[in-house]
Amino acid sequence: MNSPNSYLRQIQLNRKGIPSYNSYPFNLGAIKNLNQLDFHPKVTYIVGENGMGKSTLMESIAVAWGFNPEGGTINFSFSTRSTHSNLYEYIHLIKGPRRPKDGFFFRAESYYNVATNMDELDSQFSFGPPIKEAYGGKSLHEQSHGESFFSTFVHRFGGRGLYILDEPEAALSPLRQMAMLTRIHELVQQNSQFIISTHSPILMAYPDSILYNLKPDGIESLSLEETEHYVIMKEFVNNKEKMLNQLFEV
């Protein structure tokens, strides 16, 4: 799976340096049983139930690469509240021979903070074009939640980039999620690499990819059709009345 086109080929956990597996984040099953994780040169998915450590793992990868824990490009250095774990200190990145031209850590839960920092910087500095010009020319706060997300994907992301996305579907309608798949494909064709944490079966559908499912006892590789996300959604759509009756039984 490793390829010269990969900007990030693998992560390795420095298990010998971990002081204890009894406290967060090392007590998470996916971390406790992690040795290494290989990344697809195009798209890698990190999925699983709530509380399995998806965001913790994504954050550690992003911070180890040099991104701001709250998101943005390498150049973002603001801090609203320092809540990230120290897992990144124990992550060793195995990089490919080529360096990405662009990169972004998109974190849905703290993207409001990124947008606020952009507006603050644009108001403080008059030299050079405003930062918002790279995001479509309009403040992200002047758009709906979903529009601001999609403006970033369409306008800010470019070719030859490493993009780490934590739940990018959070504000996207199903139609926009399909449009996001199209955008991912466009950028992959321009030699970009994606690592995506998501609960959306639509976003998980990119064909040339690998999907890792985080569990209480470790990490497994699955196909889209094997994930609980896909199975449950398909069952609900095909047997809505039956599932509602089961959910509402007293």
How far apart (Å, rounded) are the C-alpha atoms in residues 210 and 41? Answer: 9
Q: Are 14 and 26 in contact (CB under 8 A)?
A: no
Report pLDDT digits (tens) over 205-237. Answer: 999 999 999 999 999 999 999 999 999 999 999
Supply 46's token pair.
């990190």
Q: Are 18 and 170 in contact (CB under 8 A)?
A: no
How far apart (Å, rounded) are the C-alpha atoms in residues 50 and 34? Answer: 18
What's residue 250's pLDDT?
53
DSSP classification of residue 54: H
What's residue 73's pLDDT?
79
Q: Band the pLDDT of 147: cuts 50, 70, 90.
A: confident
What's residue 140's pLDDT?
66
Q: Does the structure show a pLDDT above 80 at 39?
A: yes
How far apart (Å, rounded) are the C-alpha atoms in residues 173 and 234? Answer: 18
How far apart (Å, rounded) are the C-alpha atoms in residues 131 and 41? Answer: 29
What's residue 80's pLDDT?
57
What pairing do the DSSP bridges indicate for beta strands 209-215 and 8-13?
Answer: unpaired
What's residue 72's pLDDT?
80
Q: Region 75-93: what's the mean pLDDT?
A: 77
SS3 readout for 184-240: HHHHHCCCCEEEEECCCCCHHHCCCEEEEEEECCEEEEECHHHCHHHHHHHHHHHCH
User: What percent of the chain has pLDDT above 70?
Assistant: 85
Which residue type, as a one-letter code, is found at position 130? P
Mean pLDDT of the chain: 88
Report which of residues 186 and 156 the model is more confident about.
186
Q: Which of 61, 66, 68, 67 is nearest to 90 (CA)?
A: 61
Supply 241's token pair.
């009345």
Report which of residues 120 and 94 the model is more confident about.
94
What's residue 13's pLDDT?
95
Q: Does the structure show a pLDDT above 70 at 3?
A: no
What's residue 82's pLDDT?
58
Strand arrangement, sheet containing 8-13: 36-38, 8-13, 91-95
What's residue 136's pLDDT?
75
Q: Band the pLDDT of 83: cuts 50, 70, 90.
A: low
- Of 99-113, 149-163, 169-183, the range with the lowest mean pLDDT is 99-113
For the CA atoms of 67, 68, 69, 72, the dihedral, rounded to the nearest 10 degrees, stands at: -90
Q: Which of 173, 230, 182, 228 is nearest to 206 (CA)?
A: 182
Q: Does the structure show a pLDDT above 90 at 171?
A: no
Q: Are 30 and 110 in contact (CB under 8 A)?
A: no
Q: Are 106 and 168 in contact (CB under 8 A)?
A: yes
Report pLDDT digits (tens) over 87-114. Answer: 999 999 999 999 999 999 988 766 667 6
Parse the chain into domains and list their residue ranges. 8-247
Q: Tokens 């697809």 — which residue? A: 40
For residue 68, what are the β-bridge partners? none
For domain 8-247, the question of CATH label 3.40.50 is answered with yes
Report pLDDT digits (tens) over 46-73. Answer: 999 999 999 999 999 999 999 988 878 7
What's residue 68's pLDDT?
85
How far apart (Å, rounded) are the C-alpha atoms in residues 217 and 196? Answer: 21
